[in-house]
């Protein structure tokens, strides 16, 4: 971890080689062998490099300096993975260079921390995903989109810190100058304060109003950074051990947490890791390491009296996925919520501003109770018209993901405010799919302004009578960065081709029959009540028509929480699932993080999945197609990719 002096310096020198992450695997292999190449020779560079490629999920069982052996181990270059364990660190690189949208996907801080531990001190890319870049700055890694730095660094120039702080707000600039978030916290405790003048009164979006209230400001504007008080800070066992290790490294045994009642921890990611980890990784001791992460978190919770939703004691499974439980039991409209997961925006369906942060930022938030927020611009999404039969929230998101505004990275760091008549007809569970998958869009968060459906959800799930306060809306003339208009009446069931959630395609556009070896329904995106209800409707229909899960396909269905499982029991769904040949799994994240039943074990296997992302290796070595819950269930019955509407139509001709 970077321990820069708390007093800012004026220049920085990068003493090491430059690694170009090229599309051509041989270019990377030559660099790892000691050859220095030019930018021109390295072109084209890899774009859309995800954190799953920087540090594959199993690498994240390490949460200390050992991570320096593993950066880029999952980097995929046209089917070849050129980086081996220890090769980056051994080759003496100080700078990494890549294409657009670097650091997509998971919020895991293991990725930049692995780079830092391997010697990387600067990452240059055409553009960055918000959480990845924020994690870099919190750790003390520099980032830049200026490719002109490459030759200057090769000449051995000292680079002025202004090169990395130009056009940044004061708080972000101070964070960069001081070399990381803990150093900035030290400065704050020593009396440093931001000198940014208060913003003049202006119309605000709903998200901006939440930030203003949480920061004690009368008004905020996009691009302004503030420290905002959090209502909830939650973490899971896949990330919290790193946060805990950072705290212990900084403060040893003098850790005092702010307002422990507002901190919640979960065991959800690694609940079923023992049922999916390959033998060769077990032989390396990785299963023991993975399971030890939960113990580190549990011990920390016991030491500090924190609320912990852990593993079940009477059977295999967990209490539930963090986002699901936070939405079902804790979060309320108007609150500010942070979690150690990129899918924290899930809770935006309830009218909260919820967003993911990294391990350093969570550790700091545990200490201070607040979080640094760079006020994001807002993109309004108007969902007009009426959704056709068989079209679900997942289909809407997969449609958004293939729009140029999103694919070109222009939505990065924005709040997606959903509205329109089609949204009004969606349940809160379905809305949570829209806000949850803003992570795939690259946005800051997704949010829904509270309405009658929000009131209904809180009344039904928690017995709360919500009064919608007058301020809970966007002002009529609030500034929007962009507006996306979607005619929902023209949508149809969607898929995302293997490799990236942005590779959307309509089901009707598929050519030929695509067999399905594995169908998986579950995760925070696909394991809610409404998702299970959609799968149930397909299976109930199939049984009535003398059909069940195809003999060539395994269909795994995993509950998002015990609350969801109890609902399915009350509604009589389990017997239908069992008679139809569905393999039911207790709550946990499972196959979504390559850690449970439903993952592939061979490259030739094809999975259709209700999870949120399908980056290479995300759910095993096979090919993963993303789809809505009903399309996943219908495909399980057909043994090939079809929508429920297509499945029903096919039986009319028999």
Asked whether residue 515 is assigned to any structural domain, the reply reads: yes
Instruction: For the chain, give the percent of residues with pLDDT over 70.
Output: 98
Residues 538-553: pLDDT tens digits? Answer: 999 999 999 999 999 9
Phi, psi values for residue 348, rounded to 5°: -65, -20
- How far apart CA 649 and CA 366 sit, in angstroms, is 54
Asked whether residue 5 is assigned to any structural domain, the reply reads: no
Same domain, 469 and 585: no
pTM (two decimals): 0.89
Asked whether residue 4 is assigned to any structural domain, the reply reads: no
What would the DSSP string read from start to end of 479-532?
--SEEEEEEGGG---EEE-TT-TT-EEEGGG--S--B-SEEEE-HHHH-SHHHH
pLDDT above 50 (res 1):
no
Q: What is the pLDDT of residue 167?
A: 86
Identify the CA nearest to 297 among candidates 240, 218, 226.
240
Domain finish residue from 431, 463, 491 = 491
Residues 194-213: pLDDT tens digits? Answer: 776 777 899 999 999 999 99
The CATH number that applies at residue 519 is 3.30.499.10
The CATH number that applies at residue 101 is 3.20.19.10
- Tokens for 435, please give them: 């806000």
Same domain, 462 and 582: no
- How far apart CA 432 and CA 348 sit, in angstroms, is 7
Average pLDDT over residues 518-526: 97
Number of domains, the chain: 3
Instruction: For the chain, give the percent of residues with pLDDT over 90.
Output: 88
Asked whether residue 287 is assigned to any structural domain, the reply reads: yes
**373 in helix, strand or coil?**
strand
Tell me how far CA of residue 544 lies from CA of 255, 547, 599, 618, in angstroms.
60, 7, 30, 35
Same domain, 524 and 484: no
What would the DSSP string read from start to end of 601-643?
SSTT-EEEE-SS---TTBTBSSEEEEE-HHHHHHHHHHTB---
* Domain assignment of residue 53, given as a range: 11-189
Q: Terminus-to-terminus CA distance in the chain, angstroms?
A: 64
Please state, rounded to an integer, the average pLDDT across all residues of the chain: 94
Average pLDDT over residues 165-175: 91
Asked whether residue 607 is assigned to any structural domain, the reply reads: yes
Is 138 in contact with 181 (CB distance < 8 Å)? yes
Same domain, 531 and 635: yes
Same domain, 443 and 575: no
Asked whether residue 19 is assigned to any structural domain, the reply reads: yes
Domain finish residue from 467, 491, 515 = 491
Same domain, 482 and 511: no
Asked whether residue 2 is assigned to any structural domain, the reply reads: no
Q: What is the pLDDT of residue 653?
A: 59
Average pLDDT over residues 305-318: 94
Same domain, 603 and 583: yes
Same domain, 361 and 482: yes
- Tokens for 566, please give them: 């109890």
Residue 199, classified by CB atoms within 10 Å of its CB into exposed (0-12), middle (13-18) or buried (19+), is middle
- How far apart CA 202 and CA 162 sit, in angstroms, is 31
- Tokens for 650, please give them: 């096919």
Same domain, 158 and 18: yes
Same domain, 250 and 370: yes
Average pLDDT over residues 470-480: 97
Ranges of beta strands (E only) in 191-281 are: 225-229, 232-236, 263-266
Domain finish residue from 157, 189, 221 = 189
Same domain, 310 and 336: yes
- How far apart CA 521 and CA 534 sit, in angstroms, is 10
Same domain, 452 and 592: no
Average pLDDT over residues 37-62: 94
User: What HEC string does 517-537 produce?
Assistant: CEEEECHHHHCCHHHHHHHHH
Confidence band, pLDDT 50/70/90 cuts, at residue 345: very high
Interstrand relation of 504-506 and 494-496 (parallel, antiparallel or unpaired): antiparallel
Rounded to 10°, the helix 629-638/644-651 angle is: 40
Q: How many CA atoms lie within 13 A of 370 on its CB side?
A: 16
């Amino acid at each position: 971890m970077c321990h820069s002096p708390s007093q800012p310096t004026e220049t920085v020198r990068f003493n090491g080689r430059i690694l170009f992450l090229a599309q051509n695997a041989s270019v990377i292999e030559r660099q790892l062998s000691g050859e220095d190449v030019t930018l021109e020779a390295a072109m084209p560079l890899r774009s859309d490099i995800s954190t799953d490629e920087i540090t594959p999920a199993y690498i994240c069982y390490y949460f200390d300096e050992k991570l320096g052996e593993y950066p880029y181990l999952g980097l995929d270059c046209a089917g070849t993975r050129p980086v081996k364990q220890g090769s980056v660190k051994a080759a003496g690189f100080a700078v990494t260079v890549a294409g657009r949208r670097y650091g997509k996907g998971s919020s895991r801080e293991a990725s930049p921390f692995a780079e830092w531990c391997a010697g990387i001190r600067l990452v240059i890319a055409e553009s960055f995903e918000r959480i990845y870049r924020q994690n870099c700055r919190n750790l003390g890694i520099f980032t830049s989109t200026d490719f002109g730095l490459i030759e200057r660094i090769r000449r051995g120039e000292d680079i002025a810190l202004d090169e990395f702080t130009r056009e940044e707000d004061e708080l972000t600039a101070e964070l960069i100058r001081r070399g990381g978030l803990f150093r900035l916290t030290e400065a704050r405790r020593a009396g440093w304060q931001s000198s940014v003048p208060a913003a003049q009164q202006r119309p605000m979006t709903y998200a901006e109003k939440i930030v203003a209230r949480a920061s004690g400001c009368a008004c905020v504007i996009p691009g302004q950074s503030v420290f905002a008080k959090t209502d909830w800070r939650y973490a899971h066992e896949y990330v919290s051990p790193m946060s805990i290790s950072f705290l212990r490294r900084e403060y040893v045994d003098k850790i005092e947490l702010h307002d422990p009642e507002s901190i919640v921890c979960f065991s959800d990611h690694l609940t079923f890791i023992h049922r999916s980890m390959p033998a060769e990784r077990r032989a390396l001791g990785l299963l023991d390491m993975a399971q030890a992460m939960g113990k580190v978190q549990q011990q920390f919770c016991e030491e500090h009296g924190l609320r912990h939703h852990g593993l079940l004691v009477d059977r295999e499974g967990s209490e539930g996925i963090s986002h699901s439980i936070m939405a079902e039991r804790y979060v309320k409209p108007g609150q500010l919520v942070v979690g150690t997961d990129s899918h924290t925006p899930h809770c935006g369906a309830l009218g909260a501003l919820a967003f993911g942060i990294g391990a350093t930022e969570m550790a700091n938030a545990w200490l201070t109770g607040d979080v640094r927020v760079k006020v994001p611009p807002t993109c309004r999404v108007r969902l007009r018209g009426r959704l056709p039969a068989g079209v679900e929230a997942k289909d809407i998101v997969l449609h958004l993901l293939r729009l140029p505004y999103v694919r070109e990275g222009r939505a990065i760091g924005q709040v997606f405010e959903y509205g329109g008549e089609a949204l009004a007809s969606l349940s809160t569970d379905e809305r949570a799919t829209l806000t949850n998958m803003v992570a795939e869009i690259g946005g800051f968060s997704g949010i829904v302004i509270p309405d009658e459906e929000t009131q209904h959800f809180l009344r039904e799930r928690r017995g709360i009578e919500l009064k919608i306060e007058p301020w809970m809306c966007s002002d009529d003339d609030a500034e929007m960065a962009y507006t996306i208009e979607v005619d929902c009446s023209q949508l149809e069931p969607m898929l995302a081709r293997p490799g990236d959630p942005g590779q959307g395609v309509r089901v009707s556009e598929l050519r030929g029959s695509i067999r399905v070896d594995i169908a998986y329904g579950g995760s925070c995106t696909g394991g809610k009540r409404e998702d299970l209800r959609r799968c149930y409707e397909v299976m109930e229909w199939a049984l009535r028509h003398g059909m069940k899960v195809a003999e060539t396909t395994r269909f795994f269905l995993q509950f998002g929480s015990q609350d969801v499982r109890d609902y399915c029991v009350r509604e009589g769904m389990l017997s239908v699932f069992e008679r139809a040949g569905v393999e039911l799994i207790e709550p946990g994240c499972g196959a979504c993080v390559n850690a449970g039943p439903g993952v592939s074990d061979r490259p030739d296997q094809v999975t259709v999945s209700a999870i949120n992302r399908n980056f290479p290796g995300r759910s095993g070595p096979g090919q993963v197609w993303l789809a809505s819950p009903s399309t996943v269930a219908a495909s399980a019955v057909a043994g090939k990719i079809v929508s429920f509407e297509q499945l029903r139509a096919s039986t009319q001709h028999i």
